[in-house]
Amino acid sequence: MLFPAKMPWLLKKLFPNYVWDFFSKNKNSSKKVLYLTFDDGPVPEATEFVLEELKKHNAKATFFCIGSNVEKHPDIFKKVVNDGHAIGNHTQHHVEGWNTSTQNYINNTLEAQQIIDKHLKKIQASNSNNSDIKNRQSKIVNLFRPPYGRIKRSQGKQLRKLGYNIIMWDVVSKDWREDVSEEDCLKNVIDNTVKGSIIVLHDSLKALKNVKFTLPKTLEYFSSKGYRFEKIEL
Ligand SMILES: [Zn+2]
């Protein structure tokens, strides 16, 4: 597997312009804040499970959405938005950067952006009578996560020029892997998380077995230690 559960410092050093965690940016931070991120949704069942669990702990998270899934499941996307979570771009078709030309990579990202923006507009219009949720996600989506974590330097550079923040992670749960047990998935998270960590999980059917085990326990464990879960806002 490409990534160990804890990101090595060398990778972070090679790509200093990407966001790996929020602790290293501010070494003096003593805030007990964690950033849960969910990739590959929105999809029925998986995303809905995640939303319910987050709600129980009053936790906010960041969802890196695949554009084609937003198109297929606009109602689920709406739930994510109206629950007050942050939205990020994860390309239209889950494109692998290393094997894709920079032009195609950017186009695929912009295609997803159009879909996301279109649906956000619709959601905002339908919320306009509800002052409680009216202004949720009124910010421009400026977060991007490369599928598989694979992105060429030129692609990253162009996306940053377009105004995206490239959000990586420092904790990988490996929730999507069939050879990773529920217990090991949870252990990956518990053992490697520090203040300011960005944790990768998936709201996908593939990862659902491990997420059903790991997410509630992660929320309970760190909440009981006084941590808060926040969305990424840049
Ligand atoms: Zn992905």
pLDDT digits (tens, 9 = 90+) for 54-85: 999 999 999 999 999 999 999 999 999 999 99
Q: Is the pLDDT of residue 145 over 60?
A: yes
The alpha carbon of 4 and the centre of ligand 1 are apart by a number of angstroms equal to 16
Map 151-212 to HEC letters.
CCHHHHHHHHHCCCEEECCCEECCCCCCCCCHHHHHHHHHHHCCCCCEEEEECCCCCHHHHH
> Looking at the domain assignment, is residue 175 inside a domain?
yes
> Looking at the domain assignment, is residue 19 inside a domain?
yes
How far, in Å, CA of 90 to CA of 92, rounded? 7
The alpha carbon of 179 and the centre of ligand 1 are apart by a number of angstroms equal to 18
User: What is the average per-residue pLDDT within 158-183?
Assistant: 93
> Looking at the domain assignment, is residue 234 inside a domain?
no
CATH number assigned to the domain comprising residue 213 = 3.20.20.370
> Looking at the domain assignment, is residue 4 inside a domain?
no
Q: Is the pLDDT of residue 183 over 90?
A: yes
Active-site residue set: 39, 202
Range of the domain at 125: 9-229
pLDDT > 70 in the chain, percent: 89
The alpha carbon of 201 and the centre of ligand 1 are apart by a number of angstroms equal to 9
The alpha carbon of 216 and the centre of ligand 1 are apart by a number of angstroms equal to 21
> Looking at the domain assignment, is residue 28 inside a domain?
yes
The alpha carbon of 200 and the centre of ligand 1 are apart by a number of angstroms equal to 10
User: Sign of torsion, CA 66 70 60 205?
Assistant: negative
Burial of 30: CB neighbours in 10 Å, binned 0-12, 13-18, 19+: exposed
Confidence label for 15 from pLDDT (cuts 50, 70 and 90): confident
- Structural domain count of the chain: 1
> Looking at the domain assignment, is residue 3 inside a domain?
no
Q: Is the pLDDT of residue 31 over 90?
A: no
Distance (Å) of CA 168 to CA 3, 121, 122, 221: 12, 27, 29, 23
Coil, strand or helix: which one is 102? helix
Are the C-beta atoms of residues 62 and 233 closer than 8 Å to each other?
A: no
> Looking at the domain assignment, is residue 196 inside a domain?
yes
> Looking at the domain assignment, is residue 1 inside a domain?
no
Distance (Å) of CA 36 to CA 1, 67, 86, 99, 199: 22, 20, 11, 28, 5
Single pTM value for the model: 0.92
pLDDT given at position 1? 41
